[in-house]
Amino acid sequence: MTKWLIRLYALSIAAMSLKTFLAPQHGWPIKLLAGTEILMAILFALPKARQVGLYGLLTIFGLAAVLETLAGSGPFRFIVYGIAAWVLAKQETA
């Protein structure tokens, strides 16, 4: 069951990142972050690359949380995304 949840999670993160990447109002730094997030979500979905994808996603979520805070918004969604990735990855190894 966990492998399907991981794949669904990775797909949803990649889809949200693709939407951000394609949005015309975002400049290249946000597009770079979104593109990297897509790559890390794909790696997270692959069992042999899951740890690389996990730590990549956690890093990106951390950066996004800082940028969101600097922009005056709350970084709560990135905290939730990070916790979900961590729990899914650790649930699989348990």
Residues whose CB is less than 8 angstroms from the CB of residue 5 and which lie 6 or more positions away in sequence, other chains included:
88
Model confidence over 18-76: pLDDT tens digits? 999 999 998 899 999 999 999 999 999 999 999 999 999 999 999 999 999 998 988 89
Structure confidence at residue 1 (pLDDT)? 65
Alpha carbons 10 and 45: distance in angstroms, whole number: 6
Residues whose CB is less than 8 angstroms from the CB of residue 49 and which lie 6 or more positions away in sequence, other chains included:
43
| The two three-digit tokens of residue 65, written as one number | 């949380």
- The pTM score is 0.91
Alpha carbons 85 and 40: distance in angstroms, whole number: 11
